[in-house]
Structures are given as C-alpha cells and as structure tokens.
Amino acid sequence: MRMKLKKIIIYLTIASLLNLVGCYYQQQMTPEEYNFDEKLDLQVSTKDTTYSLNANDYYYDKDTLYAKVTKWMYKDDYWVRYKIDTKIPVKEIEKLEIEKMDEAVTIGIVAGFVLIIVGIMVIIVGETEIM
C-alpha cells in the first residue's frame, strides 16, 4: 500500500509540473497590426538592428516606440550590462514578433498526460486487486 501511495504522489507531482509548461508560438506582424498597449514581450526588427524588449521596457507615443535597451560594454576586464533609452520610429520598424501562449495545445497536452497517468493508475490498482 505504501508503494502505491508513493506512485500516486509521483504521478500527481508530474501532472502538477505539467501545468507550469505551456506551448508558445511566435507571431510576426507589422507595426500597423500590433496594438502597443498590449504590453507583451516584443522582438522589434529594423533595417539595422533587432531589439528584444520586455513588456515593461517600452511605451508607444506619437508614432515612436520608446524603449530601454540592454547593451553590453567591456570595462575593466569584464563585461558590464547597462540599459539605455532608445527611440524607434514606427516607420523604421520592418516587423514585430510577439510570443503568445497557445492555450488549446497546452490544455490538450496536460489533459493527455493526466489521462495517461489515470490509465496507468487504473491498471496498477486493477493488478493489485487481482493478486
């Protein structure tokens, strides 16, 4: 009985950890298609540079994207990370990429694993009752 309880706890732990896992996809769009008020993590591509922006590191005002961008500088024999303010005119943005969660696939994967675990538990319980 003690072994059965350990297995159940392990299966429930695995199922709980699956809730932390999500399926994501990258969606590409033009600046006209994106609502800058959504506050999602962005990857902004211009002709010269690609910026990776966290949701709290940018804001949009009058056709300009104002962002805090992380830069690296070599100083005193080691690399130092610092943030600088950058203006990115929307007309210079070639594409935006946002990462979105695919809820349907995530729910399907979690439900599938839960069903597999329940099936295994039913088989284990059925075998112990036969003995």
Q: Quick: pLDDT tens for 38-92.
A: 777 888 888 888 888 888 888 888 888 898 887 788 888 888 888 888 898 888 8
Indicate whether 131 pLDDT > 60: no
40-43, Cβ contacts within 8 angstroms, sequence gap of 24 or more: 40/98, 40/99, 40/100, 41/98, 41/99, 42/96, 42/97, 42/98, 43/96, 43/97, 43/98
Indicate whether 28 pLDDT > 60: yes
Overall average pLDDT of the 21-43 stretch:
75
pTM of the model: 0.54
Q: What is the dihedral of CA 92, 59, 43, 108, to 10 degrees?
A: -140
CA distance 24 to 21: 10
Largest CA distance in the chain: 75
> Looking up tokens 């203006």, which residue turns up?
87
